[in-house]
């Protein structure tokens, strides 16, 4: 037997609003390892907080309560409280000790830590240090978006025996098995269909997240999708319906959030196929789209299928008001006219303004506060609700590379990539202006 201990680490940030987010990568890995009968899989979710407000729990998304903690030196000028979200280090060590007590002498073991945002690395470092203290015999590996976008930074910590920069779970499993000197399981990729191992999480908060596809055909200059997933690929429709049915009947959750980057791309071949089958089963799950969908894909039929399938929360990417920037930075994925038409189609099907959120980039170097305010007004005019999407310079994206060339410290210290911080320190927009615009959005939203 060998042992795999997966850790979803604590999070350090100013706020943490969990939009149905789940440690999907780690849960998929747990599933891939779980298909090998020689493996004991353990999962430690360091952020298992149950949502306290009933309305948030019912919807499966809400604000988490952190513990106020000291700000890192580079945040000292930011006038906001900084928090740690998740179980304490003592509890994490206890849980590792308990797992360790069940491992027989000489059995290979690996601790795999997944880190999402580049600027969340502090939690991953903390978990790695705890694993090294408690289980010095285990290999400690890091994966996830941070590892893939900033492997050099992670490597400099000296905390990890291995840093995984790929995303194919079966390839990752092979890499880890090589480190442990364990032969790959005979069943390879055919070990059943891969449904994230949600049964290992102690709290689901009435929701799951899933991705029916990876990648995106666009190459927006501020987005890392093309870096993380060079090719667009999609799951078979039958597998998606099977997965959703499992969530409904076995897990009993009422909400599912799609974390696709391009859910509606080639909708005739992908989205319609599984959505039609899902509708035939009677549906029964509220669907949410925290990642923006492409407005250009939402024609009348698409809006009708989305409604019938059970979509409740729709988010669309708009980003810039200025047409030249829409074309240059977003590759023409959207225009004012396209957005207007998509919103009208959705409203015809019964979605209301509150259901349709439209993301506008805030604090992007090419965009000042006046243009952002114009975008806000335009979205209200379309009949939807604007949402400010705070720009974060993501390593390996063209826009961030330009930012790093001017301010190299942001590359060497990923904490400065934090979206709450970047605009205040580098965009020339201050917190007061941000607050005023947010307040205006709230006021107009309530008035509508
Ligand atoms: S369309 Fe969306 S997911 Fe695709 S590259 Fe642009 S921002 Fe990223």
Q: Which atom of ligand 1 is nearest to the CA of 219?
A: 5
Q: What is the pLDDT of residues 301-331, one digit of tens each?
A: 999 999 999 999 999 999 999 999 999 999 9
Q: What is the pLDDT of residue 182?
A: 96
Is the pLDDT confidence value at 192 over 70? Answer: no
59 closest CA partner among 205, 201, 259? 205
Give distance in angstroms: CA of 223 to centre of ligand 1: 6
Between strands 255-258 and 233-234, the pairing is unpaired
Give distance in angstroms: CA of 368 to centre of ligand 1: 21
289 closest CA partner among 261, 270, 268, 266? 261
The H or E element that residue 227 is part of is helix 225-228
Q: Which atom of ligand 1 is nearest to the CA of 224?
A: 8
275 closest CA partner among 315, 234, 214? 234
Q: Which atom of ligand 1 is nearest to the CA of 294?
A: 1
92 DSSP 8-state letter = H
- Residue 222 pLDDT grade (very low, low, confident, very high; cuts 50, 70, 90): very high
Give distance in angstroms: CA of 175 to centre of ligand 1: 29
Between strands 11-13 and 82-85, the pairing is antiparallel
Give distance in angstroms: CA of 255 to centre of ligand 1: 24
Would you say the C-alpha torsion 219, 224, 227, 231 has a positive or negative sign? negative
Is the pLDDT confidence value at 61 over 60? Answer: yes
CA 346 to chain centroid: 25
Give distance in angstroms: CA of 406 to centre of ligand 1: 24
- pTM for the model stands at 0.95
- Other CB atoms within 10 Å distance of the CB of residue 250: 11
Q: State mean pLDDT over 50-73.
A: 95
Please state which CATH number belongs to domain 2-190: 3.40.50.280
| Residue of minimum CA distance from atom 6 in ligand 1 | 220
Q: What is the pLDDT of residues 223-270, one digit of tens each?
A: 999 999 999 999 999 999 999 999 999 999 999 999 999 999 999 999
Q: Which atom of ligand 1 is nearest to the CA of 222?
A: 7
Ligand 1 neighbourhood includes 317 CB (under 6 angstroms): yes
- Residue 197 pLDDT grade (very low, low, confident, very high; cuts 50, 70, 90): very high
418 closest CA partner among 22, 82, 131, 174? 82
For residues 316 and 297, give the distance between their C-alpha atoms in angstroms, rounded to a whole number: 10
Task: Return the CATH class of domain 206-391+427-447.
Answer: alpha beta
Ligand 1 neighbourhood includes 25 CB (under 6 angstroms): no
Summary mean pLDDT of the chain? 96
Ligand 1 neighbourhood includes 220 CB (under 6 angstroms): yes
Q: Which atom of ligand 1 is nearest to the CA of 317?
A: 2
Give distance in angstroms: CA of 147 to centre of ligand 1: 21
What does the DSSP assignment read for 274-329?
A: HHHHHHHTT---EEE--SPBPGGG--HHHHHHHHHHTEEEEEEEEE-SSHHHHHHH
Give distance in angstroms: CA of 330 to centre of ligand 1: 7
Is the pLDDT confidence value at 190 over 60? Answer: no
For residues 5 and 103, give the distance between their C-alpha atoms in angstroms, rounded to a whole number: 11
Ligand 1 neighbourhood includes 223 CB (under 6 angstroms): yes
Give distance in angstroms: CA of 271 to centre of ligand 1: 17
Q: What is the pLDDT of residue 27?
A: 98
Q: Which of 60-74, 162-176, 190-204, 363-377 has the lowest mean pLDDT?
A: 190-204
Q: Which atom of ligand 1 is nearest to the CA of 261?
A: 3
Q: What is the pLDDT of residue 126?
A: 98
Ligand 1 neighbourhood includes 333 CB (under 6 angstroms): yes
Q: What is the pLDDT of residue 447?
A: 84
217 closest CA partner among 303, 117, 332, 320? 332
Q: What is the pLDDT of residue 189?
A: 55
Ligand 1 neighbourhood includes 225 CB (under 6 angstroms): yes
Token pair, residue 84, equals 């740690």
| Residue of minimum CA distance from atom 8 in ligand 1 | 223
Ligand 1 neighbourhood includes 215 CB (under 6 angstroms): no
Give distance in angstroms: CA of 121 to centre of ligand 1: 24
Q: What is the pLDDT of residue 327?
A: 93
For residues 24 and 205, give the distance between their C-alpha atoms in angstroms, rounded to a whole number: 15
Is the pLDDT confidence value at 193 over 70? Answer: no
Q: What is the pLDDT of residues 372-416, one digit of tens each?
A: 999 999 999 999 999 999 999 999 999 999 999 999 999 999 999
What is the distance in angstroms between the CA of the first residue and the CA of the last residue of the chain? 61
| Residue of minimum CA distance from atom 2 in ligand 1 | 261
Ligand 1 neighbourhood includes 295 CB (under 6 angstroms): no
Query: Greater confidence, 97 or 191?
Result: 97
For residues 340 and 383, give the distance between their C-alpha atoms in angstroms, rounded to a whole number: 8
Q: What is the pLDDT of residue 188?
A: 56
Q: Which of 173-187, 220-234, 344-358, 409-423 has the lowest mean pLDDT?
A: 173-187
Give distance in angstroms: CA of 354 to centre of ligand 1: 23
What order of strands is seen across the sheet that includes strand 2-8? 39-45, 2-8, 109-114, 139-143, 162-163
For the chain, what are the domain ranges? 2-190, 206-391+427-447
Is the pLDDT confidence value at 154 over 90? Answer: yes
| Residue of minimum CA distance from atom 1 in ligand 1 | 218
- Residue 187 pLDDT grade (very low, low, confident, very high; cuts 50, 70, 90): low
Give distance in angstroms: CA of 215 to centre of ligand 1: 9
Give distance in angstroms: CA of 219 to centre of ligand 1: 6
For residues 29 and 27, give the distance between their C-alpha atoms in angstroms, rounded to a whole number: 5
Q: Which atom of ligand 1 is nearest to the CA of 217?
A: 4
Q: Which atom of ligand 1 is nearest to the CA of 292?
A: 2
Contact 412, 153 (CB under 8 A): yes
């Amino acid at each position: 037997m060998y042992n795999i201990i997966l850790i979803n680490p604590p999070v350090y940030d100013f706020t943490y609003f969990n939009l149905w987010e789940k440690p999907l990568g780690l849960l998929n890995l747990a599933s891939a390892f779980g298909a090998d009968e020689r493996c004991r899989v353990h999962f430690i979710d360091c952020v298992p907080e149950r949502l306290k407000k009933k309305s948030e729990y019912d919807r499966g998304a809400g604000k988490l309560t952190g513990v106020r903690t000291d700000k890192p030196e580079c945040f000292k000028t930011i006038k906001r409280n900084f928090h740690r979200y998740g179980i304490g280090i003592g509890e994490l060590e206890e849980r590792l000790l308990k797992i360790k007590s069940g491992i027989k002498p000489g059995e290979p073991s690996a601790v795999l830590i997944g880190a999402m945002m580049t600027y969340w690395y502090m939690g991953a470092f903390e978990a790695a240090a705890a694993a090294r203290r408690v289980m010095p015999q285990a290999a400690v590996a890091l994966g996830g978006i941070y590892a893939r976008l900033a492997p050099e930074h992670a490597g400099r910590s000296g905390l990890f025996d291995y840093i995984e920069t790929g995303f194919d779970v079966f390839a990752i499993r092979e890499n880890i098995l090589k480190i442990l000197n364990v032969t790959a399981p005979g069943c390879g990729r055919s070990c059943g269909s891969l449904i994230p191992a949600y049964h290992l999480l102690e709290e689901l908060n009435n929701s799951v997240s899933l991705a029916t596809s990876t990648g995106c055909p666009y190459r927006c200059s501020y987005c890392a999708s093309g870096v993380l997933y060079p090719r667009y690929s999609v799951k078979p429709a039958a597998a998606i319906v099977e997965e959703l049915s499992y969530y409904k009947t076995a897990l009993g959750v009422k909400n599912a959030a799609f974390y696709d980057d391009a859910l509606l791309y080639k909708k005739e071949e992908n989205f319609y196929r599984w959505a039609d089958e899902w509708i035939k089963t009677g549906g029964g799950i509220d669907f949410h789209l925290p990642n923006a969908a492409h407005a250009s894909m939402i024609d009348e039929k698409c809006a009708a299928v989305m409604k019938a399938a059970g979509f409740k929360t729709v988010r669309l990417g708009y980003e810039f008001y200025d047409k030249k920037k829409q074309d240059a930075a977003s590759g023409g994925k959207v225009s004012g006219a396209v957005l207007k038409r998509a919103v009208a189609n959705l409203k015809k099907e019964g979605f209301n303004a509150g259901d349709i959120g439209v993301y506008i980039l805030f604090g992007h170097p090419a965009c000042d506060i006046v243009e952002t305010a114009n975008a806000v007004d335009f979205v209200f005019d379309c009949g939807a609700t604007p949402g400010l999407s705070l720009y974060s310079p993501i390593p390996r994206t063209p826009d961030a590379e330009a930012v790093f060339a001017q301010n190299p410290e942001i590359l060497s210290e990923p904490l400065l990539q934090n979206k709450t911080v970047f605009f205040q320190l580098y965009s020339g927009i201050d917190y007061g202006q941000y607050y005023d615009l947010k307040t205006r959005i709230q006021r107009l939203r309530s008035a509508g």
